[in-house]
């Protein structure tokens, strides 16, 4: 019986995995050079960890274990990271700077570059949401994308400005969160209808809608000219310093005052990054982040947090790398022997393969095939060299090294062969 893979999941063949590993290694390298340390959390957690953070509407893969505990495969990684911090490392020096990479699961309708099993790469600064921390985190995300050669457009906003405008309109705390969720979803008409139901009309509603539409380098000036942002606004002062620091980092950005978050623990700066090459269509957001206070929700101290997460799968859709970098070129050691005979030849071949495996991918025949069949296999794999080991070579204390690209070959000692191959692969 043929069994298909589960809907919303994928199989990754070797070439695709090599591409994803190249991406992952570049992203890790940038994060570590910026002083972030890697962490990892369990694949499944108690389900309330996620419902506390995101509400009951989150679509999870849930189950009960044999002890009756309600568990869920993680639908995202921020909540587990904060849970781990509170339980294990809350006494670490601040700020604590971490990065993580892992798979997540959501029971949602699969779409282009959107799957039920997907991967996230993210970072957290625990203990600071200052403009300095915010700027560093955004600059880090910007430099990670630069390392991948991805063209992107960064939008930066501040949820504090929207919340201030809603408070001026006499919208209370619970209603503010409802309005913020609608703004986050882009449901403008629903925002207008809800505000109308709450008695927010006329100039106050117009000012809110005007603020949400403000985008670009003159957005703050336009807001001041219309007097919809107070000059003594703490959110405004924080945003202005953040933008100044982003200029110091050399990060290009678009100021977008309409960015919102539908969860009330987001407190300040928010940003989104979109793929700018048109390769992802409408679903082109590849990163999102901001400042928030989440730890108290899980029983910890009310500490500031700043973080982001990349949609790794969407990045993989647009990341390109030279085909030669995806070829795992190596060496094949070819024992030349009669079937089920010449164990001395096989022993020598194994010893040589063991030496070569210290520095290069190396294969040895596992099917007792003929010389021609082994070389055909090596060519099909795009290996660079074949090392031929036979009775004649053993008798002379030598082996035959064949360049599979040029067809040239020569008899040399084992020591010279190993040294020559090491020099070649160190350079290539």
Paired tokens of 342: 């010449």
Residue 46 clears pLDDT 90, i.e. is over it: yes
104-142 per-position pLDDT tens digit: 999 988 887 789 999 999 999 999 999 999 999 999 999
pLDDT, averaged across the chain: 90
The CATH class given to the 14-318 domain equals alpha beta
Separation between Cα atoms, residue 276 and residue 150, nearest integer Å: 8
- Quick one: pLDDT at residue 241? 95
Q: What is the fold, at CATH topology level, of the domain defined by 329-427?
A: Rossmann fold (3.40.50)
List, in order, residues 6 or more apart from 335 with CB less than 8 Å away: 342, 345, 346, 348, 349, 364, 365, 389, 390
66-75 per-position pLDDT tens digit: 999 999 999 9
Q: Considering the entire predicted model, what is its pTM?
A: 0.89
Query: Each residue of 217-232: b (16+ CB within 10 Å) or e?
Result: eebbebbeeeebbeee
- Quick one: pLDDT at residue 340? 62
352-401 per-position pLDDT tens digit: 999 999 999 999 988 888 889 999 999 888 899 999 998 887 888 899 99
Give the residue extent of every domain in the chain.
14-318, 329-427
Q: CB–CB of 310/287 below 8 Å?
A: yes
Give CB contacts under 8 A, 24+ apart, made by 67-72: 70/46, 71/44, 71/45, 71/46, 71/47, 72/44, 72/45, 72/46, 72/47
Give me the count of residues in the chain: 428
Q: CB–CB of 256/159 below 8 Å?
A: no
- Quick one: pLDDT at residue 428? 76
- Quick one: pLDDT at residue 139? 97
320-353 per-position pLDDT tens digit: 887 776 676 899 999 988 766 678 889 999 999 9
Separation between Cα atoms, residue 151 and residue 319, nearest integer Å: 10
Least confident of 92-96, 132-136, 419-423: 92-96
254-265 per-position pLDDT tens digit: 999 999 887 778
180-213 per-position pLDDT tens digit: 888 888 888 988 888 888 887 778 888 888 889 9
What would the mean pLDDT of 392-413 be, rounded to a whole number? 90
Q: CB–CB of 342/156 below 8 Å?
A: no
> Do the domains at 14-318 and 329-427 have one common CATH topology?
no
- Quick one: pLDDT at residue 3? 92
What would the mean pLDDT of 80-92 be, rounded to a whole number? 89
28-42 per-position pLDDT tens digit: 999 999 999 999 999
Angle ∠(102,14,145) on CA atoms, nearest 5 = 50
Paired tokens of 91: 């006494």
């Amino acid at each position: 019986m043929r069994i298909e893979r589960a809907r919303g999941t994928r199989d990754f063949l070797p070439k695709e995995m090599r591409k994803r590993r190249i991406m992952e290694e570049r992203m890790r390298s940038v994060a570590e050079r910026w002083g972030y340390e890697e962490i990892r959390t369990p694949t499944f957690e108690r389900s309330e960890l996620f419902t506390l953070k995101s509400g009951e509407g989150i679509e999870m893969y849930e189950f009960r274990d044999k002890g009756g505990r309600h568990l869920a495969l993680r639908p995202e990684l921020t909540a587990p990271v904060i849970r781990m911090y509170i339980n294990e490392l809350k006494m670490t020096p601040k700020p604590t700077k971490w990065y993580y990479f892992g798979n997540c699961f959501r029971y949602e309708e699969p779409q282009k570059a959107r799957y039920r099993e997907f991967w996230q790469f993210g970072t957290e600064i625990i203990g600071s949401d200052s403009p300095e921390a915010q700027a560093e985190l955004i600059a880090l995300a910007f430099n990670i994308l630069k390392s991948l050669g991805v063209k992107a457009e960064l939008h930066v906003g501040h949820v504090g400005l929207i919340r201030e405008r809603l408070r001026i309109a006499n919208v209370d705390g619970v209603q503010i969160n409802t309005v913020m969720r609608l703004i986050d979803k882009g449901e403008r008409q629903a925002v207008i209808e809800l505000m109308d139901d709450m008695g927010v009309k006329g100039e106050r509603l117009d000012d809110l809608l005007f603020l949400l539409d403000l985008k670009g380098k003159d957005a703050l000036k336009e807001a001041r000219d219309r007097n919809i942002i107070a000059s003594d606004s703490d959110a405004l002062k924080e945003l202005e310093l953040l933008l100044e620091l982003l200029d110091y980092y050399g990060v290009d950005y678009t100021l977008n005052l309409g960015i919102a978050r539908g969860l009330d623990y987001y407190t300040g700066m928010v940003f989104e990054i979109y793929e700018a090459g048109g390769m992802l269509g409408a679903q082109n957001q590849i990163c999102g982040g901001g400042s928030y206070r989440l730890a108290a929700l899980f029983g910890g101290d009310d500490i500031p947090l700043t973080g982001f997460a990349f949609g790794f799968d969407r990045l993989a859709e647009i990341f390109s790398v030279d085909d030669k970098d995806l070829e795992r070129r190596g060496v094949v050691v070819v024992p030349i022997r009669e079937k089920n005979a010449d164990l001395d030849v096989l022993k020598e071949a194994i010893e040589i393969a063991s030496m070569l495996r210290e520095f290069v991918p190396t294969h040895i025949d596992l099917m007792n095939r003929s010389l021609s069949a082994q070389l055909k296999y090596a060519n099909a794999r795009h290996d660079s060299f074949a090392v031929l080991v036979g009775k004649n070579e053993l008798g002379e204390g030598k082996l035959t090294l064949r360049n599979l690209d040029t067809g040239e070959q020569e008899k040399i000692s084992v020591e010279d062969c190993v040294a020559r191959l090491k020099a070649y692969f160190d350079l290539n």
